Amino acid sequence: MDNYQDYKKEFLDTLRADSAVNGSDTQDEFLSCTLGMLEDYDEIQNSQKLGFGDKRCSGQRIMRIDGYSFDETDHSLELFISDFQDAYDTENLTAGRVDELYWRMYYFLDEVCNGKIENYFDDSDDVLKVARLIRYRMNAIGDDPQQILKIRMFILTNKELSTDLLNRNLLETKIRKSKGSSKTVKSTKKIKKSDFNGKPLEINLWNLERFYEKEKSFSSDPIVIDFRKDFDCDGIPCIKGNIGDNLGYEAYIAIIPGKLLSKIYIEHGSKVLEGNVRAFLGTSGSKSVNSGIRRTINNEPDKFFTYNNGIATTAADVETEEKDGQLFITKIVDLQIINGGQTTASLAEAVLKKTNPELTGIFVPMKLTVIDDRETENEDGVRFYDQMVQNIAKYANSQNKVTAADLFSNDPFHIWMEKMSKKIFAPSVHYSVPTGWYYERSRKRYEQEQFKLKSEIDRKRFRAKFPKDQLITKEQLGMYLTTMKEQPNIVAKGKNFVIKEFNTIISQDYKANKGCFNEFYFRKCICAAIIYRTVDDYLESHKDSAKRQTGFWYKAGGYKLDIVPYTIAKIIHSIPSGYSLDWEGIWNRQAVSPAFMREIEIVTKMTNDFICDSHGVIVTEYCKKAETWADFRDNVAYKPSANFIDELMPESIVHEQEVSSQKDQKDTDELNYVMEIVRLGSDYWRKLLDEANKRSALGYVEQNYLKQAVDFALKGNIPCSSSGKVPARTMAMARSIFEIKDKLESLGIKI
């Protein structure tokens, strides 16, 4: 979109079109769309809609929420309310209207925790199930991982912000660059409110212009911390590292007071945790580590600095000032904690739980790396910034060490998937020409590739080559493959939980069995996407709603996110032993067969009936339990039809396809090794050998291999047999050469 007005018009046109297709109203589509975008931005996690409209409660008060979610990382309850107007020219959102919406959410929370919300809803209403869960989590104490420590209220609107609201809190902050230039950074749009039952509470405004700014920038709103303005202190005392010039980063060593670090976390929540680190930590941190941190905070605070390894952080920019001979960091833009998230969260918990509210005597070692380059990429499409973050997380010694595999988008598997998606094209079934399934390993990469193209014609060609409905994100792939592995209860926990579980396993598998990741595997991934989306589309296109009375059993606002994975897992589990889905058939059709579709129609209804009988538990919470899946899997009778079974393939044939693809992949990989030796050139290998000899890093045999690489690259000819294959001896030599290259790089020898 070239400008905000175009974006606003297209946004509303899309909502209206989706509303017509789905038989919903535009307000419901607006809520679904904006919650989805907030999840994409990592602002919220696994949101659930819960619409019951304005409802009078005690004292003639009006309560309402339109959705909720829990941030398991910083123990936040998030409540959502929308203020949508179906018009191109909307009225303004005033400060008075913001207060009105705030009090609706506040009164709901008050009735849940302090009133009798049961008086206003039927016993079978899901609102009461949600209310009981919120009440339990609000009242939880001690080390209960479900305890809520903070409340965040979101107002979602397509209205323009009025002048009085803009002047109240929605201001821009100018950060002066150290080089003398200046840049403008949007401040986080928050309006502070009083606490609720002793728990910090805030309002976040998300209007359409803010969504536009976010989409245009392809990045999250950066956190801007002005220590004097925000925390009434001089800043963080530090030492700037004189580490050289033109490195792409600056380094600082600091000691930050524990109370100040806790204030930052309480103010900004898990947004100060680097996105992938946040997903990695979740609620699964080492209990022994957490208990050790808490014990030191509460019992030996004066020894915290000695016992704790500190935090490793990054920033986009800092401002410093010298006072009485001491350098202070006075302002930080986009602070992100890469290692030490549990240390930070534990300090904040000690304040919020009042076990050690002042944190007197607690200081935390802090390493800060300032990386202002967020755009430059290497040949694999990995940003310099992401590579730096990955290496910091890999090498920093921390309480809960996050390895390179945990920084998901740069994991070798995801880079491989991205490359395969640009190489392998689907049959021209739905389109006139073969098309690609674009694998988006990092957020907004699909849009970024188009943004780099010079003309609109080139962008249209790109979209024709990679249609948007064939875009797959890494989070989606995690959900698809986890479902196919018959783990729908994991998928029900939301994309952030899934990607953490999925990436840990897939990274290990990729490293251990790289040959298994080949064209056939890629096609199976696409088939999994086709199956998952087919079930989703079936429910979405047939659902009954206020606008479209179809008589279909699935209603708008149903449990589609749970029905889809449970349905697929049930069908997969019911395939007779020794048989498999016909992956090639699904790939060639780019769709499931009519017989498969009939099974989907049967099992989706069966799944819905099962999960809705949740024994008083919120359905979405019920579906997250392993016991629920086991009960559905083992105790609900279902037998696939003969037509479906007739289409299945013997596993022996599928195994032959896998073995053949592995062999082809092995030959391709080895040929690439040989070609890479030539591509790097004889000068490269000669310099590498010279550097290795200076440090006496190689033995006689290894030196000879590098000499062969020099000779091989110099000649530039790839030897082939009469059958056109590269000799096995040459392949073995190439593998050994790259093993030596990896060894030297691990010793710090790079050319």
Q: For residue 452, what pLDDT is reported?
A: 79
Count of structural domains, the chain: 4
Residue 341 has pLDDT above 90, yes or no: no
723 & 687 share domain: yes
User: Has residue 407 been placed in a domain?
Assistant: no
> Between 715 and 565, where is the model more confident?
565
Please tell me the number of Cα atoms within 13 Å of 648 on its side-chain side: 19
How buried is 82 (Cβ within 10 angstroms: 0-12 exposed, 13-18 middle, 19+ buried)? buried
Residue 653 has pLDDT above 80, yes or no: yes
Please answer whether residues 290 and 342 qualify as being in contact, where contact means their C-beta atoms are separated by less than 8 angstroms: yes
244 & 210 share domain: no
Q: Longest Cα pair distance anywhere in the chain, in angstroms?
A: 91
Please answer whether residues 334 and 316 qualify as being in contact, where contact means their C-beta atoms are separated by less than 8 angstroms: yes
Beta-carbon contacts of 684 under 8 Å, excluding residues fewer than 6 positions away, are: 713, 751
The tokens describing 711, both together, are 């000779």
Distance between CA 49 and CA 350 in Å, rounded? Answer: 32
The tokens describing 358, both together, are 């002042």
User: Has residue 751 been placed in a domain?
Assistant: no
CA distances from 367 to 281, 331, 391 (A): 20, 15, 14
Please answer whether residues 124 and 74 qualify as being in contact, where contact means their C-beta atoms are separated by less than 8 angstroms: no
Q: For residue 174, what pLDDT is reported?
A: 37
Q: For residue 548, what pLDDT is reported?
A: 67
243 & 210 share domain: no
585 & 505 share domain: yes
Nearest alpha-carbon partner for 345 in 286, 403, 276, 269 = 269
Torsion over CA: 225, 106, 623, 473 (sign): negative
Please answer whether residues 227 and 234 qualify as being in contact, where contact means their C-beta atoms are separated by less than 8 angstroms: yes
Q: For residue 745, what pLDDT is reported?
A: 82
Residue 722 has pLDDT above 80, yes or no: no
Give the tens place of pLDDT for each residue, 384-422.
777 787 777 766 644 444 443 345 677 889 999 999 999
580 & 604 share domain: yes
70 & 169 share domain: yes
Tell me the mean pLDDT in the region 535-554. Answer: 82
Helix (H, G, I), strand (E, B) or coil at 750: coil
Tell me the mean pLDDT in the region 113-127. Answer: 89
Beta-carbon contacts of 322 under 8 Å, excluding residues fewer than 6 positions away, are: 328
307 & 430 share domain: no
Beta-carbon contacts of 222 under 8 Å, excluding residues fewer than 6 positions away, are: 185, 186, 316, 333, 334
Distance between CA 676 and CA 673 in Å, rounded? Answer: 5
User: Has residue 509 been placed in a domain?
Assistant: yes
Domain end position, chosen among 189, 217, 245: 217
715 & 738 share domain: yes
CA distances from 421 to 425, 520, 592, 658, 722 (A): 8, 12, 21, 18, 33
160 & 23 share domain: yes
Helices (DSSP H) in 438-544: which residue ranges? Answer: 445-452, 456-465, 474-484, 488-491, 495-512, 519-542
- CB burial string 509-520: b at 16+ within 10 A, e below: ebeeebeebbbb
Q: Tell me the residue range of the domain where 707 lies.
A: 658-746
379 & 420 share domain: no
**75 confidence band (pLDDT: 50, 70, 90):** confident
Distance between CA 296 and CA 275 in Å, rounded? Answer: 28
Torsion over CA: 699, 704, 707, 712 (sign): negative
Distance between CA 2 and CA 5 in Å, rounded? Answer: 9
Give the tens place of pLDDT for each residue, 479-528.
999 999 999 999 999 887 898 889 889 988 998 888 889 999 999 999 99
Give the tens place of pLDDT for each residue, 196-228.
988 889 889 999 999 988 877 655 567 899 999
Distance between CA 738 and CA 158 in Å, rounded? Answer: 55
Distance between CA 503 and CA 493 in Å, rounded? Answer: 15
Q: For residue 287, what pLDDT is reported?
A: 44
